[in-house]
Structure 1
Amino acid sequence: MQLSEQNKYTIQGIEPAELVEKFGSPLYVYDGGTIRRKVNELKHAFSGVNMKIKYACKANTNLAVLRLMREIGVELDVVSPGEFEMGKLAGYAGNQITFTPSGVPFAEVQAAVEAGAIVNVDSIPLLEWFGQTYGNTKPCLIRIKPNVAAGGNIKIMTAHADSKFGISVLLIDQILAVVKKYDLKIIGLHQHTGSDIKDAEPFLQVADILFATAKHFPDLEIIDLGGGFKVSYQPGDAVTDMELLGNKISERFKNFCDEYGRELQLWFEPGKFLVSESGYLLTTSTVVKEDPARNFVHIDSGLNHLIRPMMYGSYHHILNTSNPAGEEKLYNVVGYICETDTFATDRKLPEVSQGDILAFLNAGAYGFTMSSNYNARFRPAEVLVDHEEAKLVRRRETLEDLLRTQM
């Protein structure tokens, strides 16, 4: 969101007040230009190797976002049958979709394989079933757990020894026994360390583990290092140095390929990195309550729309788009859900009045996709702003939507 010379916030030249007037409040807004910029940033960082981006669409499954990803040459990583079907509706072919399950019923895996997807096998039982079912007639990747702890907090670390994800690298002998037993066609190794990783070192550490493990598999085509790049939540926040990371990973990957004997493809599966900064949750102040202990700003939204602050303790920067130059005051910004529902505590904001539009930044990832109808509240509309044009890409829910499946 840009601050113009007229001291007004805009998204591709469109003021938040215009969007709220046209589409209502609260409102999710995505900036297509930001998504394009983030994709190009990743492509540039790894321009020296044969790299493919597989968007981890659990971050944001709006069909308009998926179609934009397909348009700019990004393929898809899904974790459920529903996400797979959304990918197909967005125009992806089955072989452009990777299915990365976590302990799902084997029937889900079978449906994905038979629809043309490539599966990341995440357990010995699934590997055994895959061999019994397909032998060497279908390719797959194996998801390795490298036993490395890295990420923003324990809830978003996915490669440490106690994590449920993947097959421990310490079980390599069992993995190889199953592969040999069924003559499995293993075309790639996959891992995903976690989310919000700032430094290059954890990426390099898991890459080295995966490269060493790869030497046990003679027919690989792919090394998949997952995602987890750090994005900026606060002004001046440290982020992953993509240029540095790209140079270091690319150098090690080239050396590995030389040792392996041929060039492989390097995959990444970013989700938040590609869409987080593109998204804004626009809300309206409903009540400003001055209390002896705190000043409270109540808004027309809650943890049912953006659960990350309450679930993860996540920080989302907030802008008072109606009064950018106002005198700063301390506020608790709270939602309308009948629970402790706090977005921010003792947050400095330009003075807030009833009716002001507050914008939550970094709302493009794990915002709408983790939303709910708690308190029988409706989920908001979604708008995509691209090429300076705002389009409604999901309408606001109604009571009929909440009752549709009830008997």
Structure 2
Amino acid sequence: MQFTDTETQTLDIDAAQLCQQYGSPLYVYQGSIIRRKVQALQEAFSGVTMKIKYACKANTNLAVLRLMRELGVELDVVSPGEFEMGKYAGYAPEQMTFTPSGVPYEEVRTAVDEGATVNVDSISLLEWFGQTYGSSKPCLIRLKPNVTAGGHDKIMTAHPDSKFGISVTLLDDILAFVNKYSINVIGLHQHTGSDIKEAEPFLKAARVLFEAAMHFPNLQIIDLGGGFKVGYKPDDAVTDMQHLGAEITEGFRAFCARYGRELQLWFEPGKYLVSECGYLLTTATVVKEDPARTFVHVDSGLNHLIRPMMYGSYHHILNTTNPDGPLKTYNVVGYICETDTFATDRELPEVRPGDVLAFLNAGAYGFTMSSNYNARYRPAEVLVDQGEARLVRRRETLDDLLRTQIDL
């Protein structure tokens, strides 16, 4: 059985066979799509010195991290745990950028002392960094350009009310601390938000960074974050990477000419690299006919894929067992003792108990946001790459739920 993602890529393995071998529900990642996404980004920005820093909060499976490292992609981490997982996957600390958000300073100290470069995201952290390191350690400064962009209010990160970064209106204060402590600022960073398909929001934020950059004479890096749009629905609009690359490259090269030398251009994509590689395979347990709705219950829930309930996100669903069945309209729901609706009024080929349903775009913020709510086990993960399917995380057991509890 083959099924396709929103960019017509196929997973050439029988979904039912995977579930039979590894259990249901099951996360499956397709390495070929990660490879293709990395290549598309590299080709789009071939005209500048560009570095990809994978925002690994999207998916921290070690097999995925190791594949990124194989492809020459470095890491952006946001916690000590991600930092340690990066090292475990073979990354040197120098290959990782630490982008905290209001964390204890000791977390920053640990990362910096081991060799990571920090994105400073508050005036208070900037002052602490200057007092602690002076000019001895490099840093980037995360500016908030006060630009509103992104597909959902929960994933916009650069508007005036966002908690992320230091407002560009505080540039004088930033410069005062940089000069007072001779802080070695090697880059300026911003992340506008997610699900951005046009070049203009990136360029609008970049122009703010370019103007601010003229006040920092020793820059090496301009970091424009990530947030490229991926396809969720069939025929969904996505970021035209070639067009976006050409537009941003032109603006960046003009800035470098004005600045007086060539800098590196960094991006920190997360979802763009891994969203479409991932599938959550579930099994239909009950088909419940109701006067108002027909419900399809599956053996998973918001504990495994919270995005539909948290963001109202759309995940295309395929009936891999009965793809040619007559179309019927369903509410697809989970087994959690909460409202956990995956899809409302969704047209699917007739679903019968035992059918394996595939949720697409589950490679980003799926497993990493999962939980043990209702004392449910998290599923196994399988990586399919270069013709081989291999287990990269086993299914949890009761022992895993009890491991950290103390029995008095």
Partner of 1:85: 84
1:215-294 matches, within 5 Å, as: 215-294=214-293
Letter in 1 for 2:377: F
Partner of 1:314: 313
1:132-151 matches, within 5 Å, as: 132-151=131-150
Letter in 2 for 1:313: G
Q: Structure 1 residue 12: deviation in Å? A: 4.3
Q: Indicate conservation of the 8 Å contact 2:276/2:361, yes or no.
A: yes
1:102-141 matches, within 5 Å, as: 102-141=101-140
Q: Indicate conservation of the 8 Å contact 1:26/1:284, yes or no.
A: yes
Letter in 2 for 1:134: Y
Q: Which runs of 5+ in 2 are unaligned?
A: none
Q: Structure 1 residue 10: deviation in Å? A: 9.5
Q: Indicate conservation of the 8 Å contact 1:2/1:10, yes or no.
A: no
Q: Indicate conservation of the 8 Å contact 2:9/2:33, yes or no.
A: no
Partner of 1:342: 341
- The CA distance in 2 between the partners of 1:267 and 1:14, in whole Å, is 35
Partner of 2:186: 187
Partner of 2:25: 26
What's the secondary structure of 1:92's corresponding residue? coil
Partner of 2:369: 370
Partner of 1:48: 47
Q: Indicate conservation of the 8 Å contact 2:49/2:265, yes or no.
A: yes
Aligned-residue identity in percent? 77
- The CA distance in 2 between the partners of 1:228 and 1:102, in whole Å, is 18
Q: CA RMSD in A?
A: 1.2
Letter in 2 for 1:238: A
TM-score, normalisation: structure 2: 0.98
Letter in 1 for 2:78: V
- The CA distance in 2 between the partners of 1:344 and 1:181, in whole Å, is 55
Q: Structure 1 residue 42: deviation in Å? A: 0.5
CA deviation profile, 1:291-310 (whole Å, cap 9, x unmatched): 11000000000000000000
Partner of 1:15: 14
What's the secondary structure of 2:119's corresponding residue? strand
- The CA distance in 2 between the partners of 1:238 and 1:31, in whole Å, is 22
TM-score, normalisation: structure 1: 0.98
What's the secondary structure of 2:41's corresponding residue? helix
- The CA distance in 2 between the partners of 1:254 and 1:188, in whole Å, is 16
Check if 1:325 corresponds to 2:327. Answer: no
- The CA distance in 2 between the partners of 1:250 and 1:146, in whole Å, is 19
Letter in 2 for 1:253: F
Q: Indicate conservation of the 8 Å contact 1:12/1:388, yes or no.
A: no
- The CA distance in 1 between the partners of 2:122 and 2:112, in whole Å, is 16
CA deviation profile, 1:55-79 (whole Å, cap 9, x unmatched): 0000000000000000010000000
Partner of 2:405: 406
- The CA distance in 2 between the partners of 1:2 and 1:21, in whole Å, is 16
What's the secondary structure of 1:158's corresponding residue? coil
CA deviation profile, 1:250-280 (whole Å, cap 9, x unmatched): 0010011011111000000000000000000
Letter in 1 for 2:85: M
- The CA distance in 1 between the partners of 2:11 and 2:195, in whole Å, is 27
Q: Indicate conservation of the 8 Å contact 1:98/1:120, yes or no.
A: yes
Partner of 1:72: 71
- The CA distance in 2 between the partners of 1:338 and 1:345, in whole Å, is 18
- The CA distance in 1 between the partners of 2:222 and 2:268, in whole Å, is 11
- The CA distance in 2 between the partners of 1:12 and 1:289, in whole Å, is 30
What's the secondary structure of 1:181's corresponding residue? helix
What's the secondary structure of 1:285's corresponding residue? strand
Q: Structure 1 residue 13: deviation in Å? A: 2.2
- Structure 1 consecutive aligned stretches of length 4 or more whose deviation exceeds 4 Å: 1-4, 9-12
- The CA distance in 2 between the partners of 1:72 and 1:227, in whole Å, is 18
- The CA distance in 2 between the partners of 1:22 and 1:194, in whole Å, is 39
Q: Structure 1 residue 17: deviation in Å? A: 1.1
Q: Indicate conservation of the 8 Å contact 1:11/1:385, yes or no.
A: no
CA spacing shift, 1:210–1:2, aligned 2, 3 Å? farther
CA deviation profile, 1:121-174 (whole Å, cap 9, x unmatched): 000000000000000000000000000011111100000000000000000000
Check if 1:153 corresponds to 2:158. Answer: no
- The CA distance in 1 between the partners of 2:275 and 2:11, in whole Å, is 17
- The CA distance in 2 between the partners of 1:376 and 1:13, in whole Å, is 33
CA spacing shift, 1:10–1:73, aligned 2, 3 Å? closer
Q: Indicate conservation of the 8 Å contact 2:131/2:181, yes or no.
A: yes
Letter in 1 for 2:330: Y
